[in-house]
Amino acid sequence: MALIVQKFGGTSVGDTDRIRAVANRIKAYYEHGHQLAVVVSAMGKTTDKLVDMAQQLNENPRARELDMLLATGEQVSIALLAMALDGLGVPAISFTGGQVGILTDTKHSSARIQEIDTSRVRPYLEERQVCIVAGFQGVDKESNITTLGRGGSDLTAVALAAALQADECEIFTDVDGVYTTDPNKVPTARKMKAIAYEEMLELARLGAGVLHSRSVEVASKYGIVIHVRSSFNNAEGTRVVPEDQVMEKVVVRGVTLKTDEARISVIDIPDRPGLAASLFNRLARADVNVDMIVQSSGKENQNTISFTVPRNTLRVTREVVDAFLAEQQAGSVEVDEKIATISAVGIGMKSHSGVAASMFDALAKNEINIEMISTSEIKITVAVKEEQGRKALEVVHDAFGLGDQPAQS
Amino acid sequence: MALIVQKFGGTSVGDTDRIRAVANRIKAYYEHGHQLAVVVSAMGKTTDKLVDMAQQLNENPRARELDMLLATGEQVSIALLAMALDGLGVPAISFTGGQVGILTDTKHSSARIQEIDTSRVRPYLEERQVCIVAGFQGVDKESNITTLGRGGSDLTAVALAAALQADECEIFTDVDGVYTTDPNKVPTARKMKAIAYEEMLELARLGAGVLHSRSVEVASKYGIVIHVRSSFNNAEGTRVVPEDQVMEKVVVRGVTLKTDEARISVIDIPDRPGLAASLFNRLARADVNVDMIVQSSGKENQNTISFTVPRNTLRVTREVVDAFLAEQQAGSVEVDEKIATISAVGIGMKSHSGVAASMFDALAKNEINIEMISTSEIKITVAVKEEQGRKALEVVHDAFGLGDQPAQS
């Protein structure tokens, strides 16, 4: 018998038929004798519909009231799922975020969990009632309803698993695990059996990891095993685990591709402390999301800073940069509008030298020119011309043996 | 400056346009300098839709989970109304039943309010924020969400008005007040300016009073003036007030008609203590809602009991009665399938004699035969053949001068 936290997303509970299917799935677990806490999101498009109504009444609603509104979505799901289970003869009881003891700060729409008081839910688990918990929400200490922002329901599940010291946290989703790269782009991509927290974090930050980085951070902090798997079949998915539990040691665990980026190079600006900070502060104030940043020294006492931004923010980026250069009365700007970035992620890099060289070599052999390079402890990112992005992804995926042999670890 | 509690029903907040209209109306009050607490119901058909989803998953869902589900309806309304007000520049904040401090017992789906702790909402009222409160719901002492059953949102408004010691409780609805009788049936029916609690209670129990009797009981207990008025215009409606505040003394305040009833007479049963109790206990167990009950002595040591029931429960009523008589090995049954009941209600009856006589006289003059008579302190009810019901209503309404002169008091 294990204590398992499960999480089903909005697609999995999209209508009453799907809720019934989820209930049947939970029933099978229940009959194995497990203690179950089940976190659910709002049904399908509910959140969109609620936001739409809000917009009709106020284009810029207060976050407190938006949280009050959106939290109803999960509340509907938990009540219906509890009823469905009850109808199947499985004892179940639903809890809102507040009722299950999720205390957050007061930052509406992106609240952070401060504490989970499990004293209310624990007795129900012990008498083997399935506890159905509203994801994405909590209450602040004044009992105002708060929501956790993007990836909030996953975060509820992982944090609850930590608070309950659960044996595993299963995230049921519309993909069946984490792949070495996007299988829609590289057909030889393979599903991993396991991935380390740090690797998953890098993939999540690259937007390619199924899970939101906040959930992975919490899982890592408390050592919770997350099992990412499909809500539509019973296949084993991918387990996100502590580094020492990943059986097979590989150098690179996964490779990602990001397109629709642009590169801006600010050339020959004075090599003066604080100048780069000034530029990136301005960009932050203009809500430009800067991705890679590379600085290299060119002429003496002069610098060149290159960075990438999402292409749809290129116009505002140029305005900020132009204003900056006008003020400095120095430097010039160079833009490449169509850039793709390829990242290779793996804890194995820490102990293997020559990983960057292998990657550059593979790209060179395929006549793909590297525009920018950036490395961190377990990640190497290169920027290339966008039209070569897909090819570069394949080449790198292949170079690290992720495609031609079982990458499962 | 007054402290006013207002309540808007589901039709009044049926879509975002109507919510905006309600917000504009509240704004006008706000600009008069009033402190406002506004209770709202779920939007239009929301509750029906939620119940329908529940039924698809469980034909007999647990009341706790149904309350969890249905409470979301009001929560959506309060958030949207608060946003709409905010958009009009009126500071507003929403509260669920639990947040506003409505503590109930644990009887899900028909919980009773035990206490309202206004300490949370009071400071917001004092700094002149409009407090938007979810009707129909509360929490028990374990913070399970409960609902108050039929007429629950009115009850929330009246009970909140009592707890806040509000100056008035305005119930906005789709009719513009309380009439001397149903204006759809009697064109000369008039809107009353005021009606006493006791009179309103009788009308409510007769199902003809706009308000549910529970709300009137609470208003009466705490001396809260309820102002029933239209949500679609600014006309003054009807105030429900303590007896001594009804200016014009009339004998009969209002007249009601109930159709689709059937009369059952149980004839010549032994005059033995407990026999009537036994019969009506059986009917209660069979969920038959008995309305009028009249007993008269016939032959020596024998009784005849007549009563009315909704016609659609006649079949089950007959089964119960037949079984009862078979057991007693005595008596017989007589049924009139098509009965209407006319009730005249007025506090004035207490001090005026001859009210019953006037009523019977008026009916007799119009050749309407009376099948049953039942009187209470401020109510006289007669049963007549259903086809004469409408005529009887008109005649009685007229006999007490409710139609031919201003009945406003």
- The fold of the B254-399 domain, in CATH, is VC0802-like (3.30.2130)
* B contact residues 21-40, partner A, Cβ 8 Å cutoff: 23
Residues of chain A with CATH 3.40.1160.10: 3-173
Q: Which amino acid is at B239?
A: R
Closest CB from A57, A64, A72 relative to B84: A57
CB contact under 8 A, A80 and B143: no
Exposed, middle or buried: residue A378 (CB in 10 Å: 0-12, 13-18, 19+)? buried
Closest alpha carbon to A97 in A266, A114, A374: A114
Handedness of CA A283, A288, A293, A295 (dihedral sign): negative
The distance of B152 to chain A (nearest Cα, Å) reads 20
One DSSP character per residue, A150-201 reads TTHHHHHHHHHHHHHT-SEEEEEESS-S-BSS-TTT-TT--B-SEEEHHHHH
The string of pLDDT tens digits covering residues A194-210 is 999 999 999 988 877 68
Exposed, middle or buried: residue A308 (CB in 10 Å: 0-12, 13-18, 19+)? buried
Length of chain B equals: 409
Distance CA A293, CA B36 (A): 54
pLDDT band for position A169 (50/70/90)?
very high
B119: which chain A residues are within 8 Å (Cβ-Cβ)?
A: none
Closest CB from A57, A82, A87 relative to B87: A57
Q: What CATH number does the domain located at B3-173 have?
A: 3.40.1160.10
Instruction: Give the distance from CA A97 to its chain's centroid.
Output: 21
Structure tokens at B374: 């039942």
pLDDT at B243 over 70: yes
pLDDT at A407 over 60: no
Alpha-helix residue ranges (DSSP H) falling in A253-353: 275-285, 314-328
For testing contact with chain B, the best of A69, A81, A103, A140 (most B CBs within 10 A)? A69
* The pLDDT value given to residue B404: 58
Residues A99-138, buried b or exposed e (16+ Cβ, 10 A)? bbbbbbeeebbbbebeebebeebbebbeeebbbbbbbbbb
Length of chain A equals: 409
Whether the CB of A294 is below 8 Å from some CB of chain B: the reply is no
Distance CA B395, CA B380 (A): 14
pLDDT band for position B276 (50/70/90)?
confident
pLDDT at A155 over 90: yes
pLDDT band for position A276 (50/70/90)?
confident
Segment B33-60 shows an average pLDDT of 96
* The pLDDT value given to residue B407: 43
Closest alpha carbon to B242 in B258, B230, B231, B226: B226
B69: which chain A residues are within 8 Å (Cβ-Cβ)?
A: 75-76, 79-80, 83
Structure tokens at A161: 């698993």
Whether the CB of A366 is below 8 Å from some CB of chain B: the reply is no
Searching chain B, which residue's CA lies closest to the CA of residue A76? B69
The string of pLDDT tens digits covering residues A379-399 is 999 999 999 999 999 999 999
Residues B265-283, buried b or exposed e (16+ Cβ, 10 A)? bbbbbeeeeebbeebeebb
Phi, psi of B36, deg, nearest 5: -130, 130
Searching chain B, which residue's CA lies closest to the CA of residue A87? B58
For testing contact with chain B, the best of A18, A22, A59, A65 (most B CBs within 10 A)? A65
Neighbours of B15 (CB within 10 A): 12
Segment A21-49 shows an average pLDDT of 95
Distance CA B169, CA B36 (A): 10
The string of pLDDT tens digits covering residues B121-143 is 999 999 999 999 999 999 999 99
A144: which chain B residues are within 8 Å (Cβ-Cβ)?
A: 99
pLDDT at A134 over 80: yes
For testing contact with chain A, the best of B80, B81, B139, B140 (most A CBs within 10 A)? B80
Residues 6+ apart with CB under 8 A from B351: none
The string of pLDDT tens digits covering residues B291-330 is 899 887 767 788 889 999 999 999 999 999 999 999 988 8
Searching chain B, which residue's CA lies closest to the CA of residue A70? B76
Give the percent of chain B with pLDDT over 90. 78
Segment B49-68 shows an average pLDDT of 96
Q: Beta A113-116 vs A102-104: how paired, if at all? A: antiparallel
Residue B279, H or E segment: helix B275-285
State the ipTM, two decimals. 0.85
B79: which chain A residues are within 8 Å (Cβ-Cβ)?
A: 54, 65-66, 68-69, 72
Whether the CB of A86 is below 8 Å from some CB of chain B: the reply is yes
Segment B56-74 shows an average pLDDT of 97
Segment B187-201 shows an average pLDDT of 93
The upper half-sphere exposure of residue B365, i.e. CA atoms within 13 Å in the direction of its Cβ, equals 11
pLDDT at B369 over 80: yes
Residue A53, H or E segment: helix A46-57
The distance of B57 to chain A (nearest Cα, Å) reads 5
Residues of chain B with CATH 3.30.2130.10: 254-399
Exposed, middle or buried: residue B314 (CB in 10 Å: 0-12, 13-18, 19+)? middle
* The pLDDT value given to residue B408: 44
Segment B40-45 shows an average pLDDT of 95
CB contact under 8 A, B50 and A143: no
Whether the CB of B119 is below 8 Å from some CB of chain A: the reply is no
* The pLDDT value given to residue A245: 85
CB A69 within 8 A of CB A50: yes
- How many A/B residue pairs have CB atoms within 8 Å? 112
Searching chain A, which residue's CA lies closest to the CA of residue B68? A79
Whether the CB of B90 is below 8 Å from some CB of chain A: the reply is no
